[in-house]
Structure 1
Amino acid sequence: MNMASKRPQTARQYVVGVLRTEILKATHEAGTRLRQEEVAARLGVSTTPVREAFRDLLAEGLIELDTHRGVLVRGLTLTDVRELYELRILLEPRLALKAVAFASPAHLDAAATTHRQLCDEQEPERWAALNVIFHRELTAPAPEGRLSRIVESLAAAAGAYVTLSMHATPELMALNNADHAELLRHYRDGNAERAARKTAQHLEQTLLAIEQDVRTRSV
């Protein structure tokens, strides 16, 4: 199938998806320079979505800006992923405690719909994007505040690592889908303590899979 026929809604999303996959699969080694014009020509887009995609990848920690060399592939490190997930494991269970108390049937029905899509999805990139949506829908009922904003930011930054874990350990997709089903049950039962514990276990499971793959790559 022609890659162009699988493009997402926008050129920006297309470029982000292609570059993210290439970086995660080590097509570009750490330190490789990415030139805006070359990427645009190769992917058949203008330089504008490439520039926008670079901003997204910079936020995800997959590239960095060098004053003299421009945009460089940053690669993945154990230090980065551990720091990110240690924060998520600390904060997301706390947000779950708040969210369960305010969750409505409508909120949980929306999360259940996304869960069904996750169970049907086999493509790691698309699964990871749906995963962000699922967790956002679960925690959306929590009162708006700094905690929810920080958690959402961390979850977005972890998207690339989640994709990596799906590539590295395909069976993790099914395990995570089962975790999601259990989380939904705890939310529907109003059991905040169990939802918080399961949230932490769920994140720890993903961290272990990512650590294993990053070690294998020796990045």
Structure 2
Amino acid sequence: MAGTMIKRMIVPPTRATAAADELRRRILEGDYPAGMQLRQAVLAEELGISRIPFREALILLEAEGLVQLEAHKGAVVAGFSPEEVEELFEFRALLEPALLEKSAPHLTDADYAELDAILREYSDELRTHNPGRWGALNTELHALLYRRAQSPRMLATADQLLKSTDRFTRMQLYYTDGRARAEKEHLEIVTECRAGNVKKAAKLLRQHILTAGEALVSLLRERQQATT
């Protein structure tokens, strides 16, 4: 219904999750490049928290694949080779269509209202050239499509994969011609789900993920060759 306000439950963040959110933002926006050491004492003081919640934040980010905890070096921002990124997107292309097939038949009118709102915001952010929101909205859209799957372990894995590939998705959209394609493909997937064409939607989703992954891997390999 036009003008309907989508209600979202707001859960107050803990110090650890708030710190993880800020560190994640800095990593995804490129403030902290791959290989950078995250100095616990300095950053904990900067964020105004003690070392215990800061350590918990690092553990959360390690689970997402954004941080590596190394024995003699502490926490460093994770780096990925083109081959590792390719594997991540191939894994997503296997997992997410299966989740969509489980979830799509159970999506509600409220879910579609929320999906429509995300699609509108996504289009607005693409046109205003605001890459800071592209990855988050992409993750939110995909997660919402799968929310009715009733497969908590698969959903948890998909959530980790989406968060791990967020910065790569943003890079792919920013540095390639993927923005218009992503907008079109997202709309097609939602439209097919709404029409009950779940198998077609899952097929479109798989191709959507693989195409984005292929464009990104090509970009990473070009950059790799340029620096050798």
So what's the TM-score if we normalise by structure 1?
Answer: 0.80
Note the 1:2-151 alignment, pairs <5 A: 10=18, 12-22=20-30, 28=33, 30=35, 32-39=36-43, 44-48=46-50, 51=55, 53-121=57-125, 122-151=129-158
Match of 2:218 in 1: 212
Distance 1:177 1:217 in 2: 26
Match of 1:194 in 2: 200
So what's the TM-score if we normalise by structure 2?
Answer: 0.77
Distance 1:98 1:113 in 2: 22
Distance 2:98 2:91 in 1: 11
Contact kept, 8 Å, 2:86 with 2:214, in 1: the verdict is no
Distance 1:29 1:161 in 2: 12
Larger mean Cα displacement after TM superposition, 199-208 or 48-57: 48-57
Contact kept, 8 Å, 1:60 with 1:160, in 2: the verdict is no
The RMSD of aligned alpha carbons is 2.6
Contact kept, 8 Å, 1:16 with 1:53, in 2: the verdict is no
For residues 97-124 of structure 1, what are the alpha-carbon distances to aligned partners after superposition, in whole Å with 9 as ceiling and x for unaligned?
2222222222111111111111111322
Say how many residue pairs are matched: 204
Structure 2 residue aligned with 1:155, among 158, 162, 166? Answer: 162
Letter in 2 for 1:61: G
Letter in 2 for 1:203: I
Unaligned runs of 5+ in 2: 1-17
CA change 1:143–1:72 in 2 (3 A) is closer
Q: Does the residue aligned with 1:129 lie in a helix, a strand or coil?
A: helix
Q: Does the residue aligned with 2:80 lie in a helix, a strand or coil?
A: coil
Runs of 4+ in structure 1 deviating by more than 6 angstroms, as ranges, are none
- Percent of aligned pairs with the same residue? 29
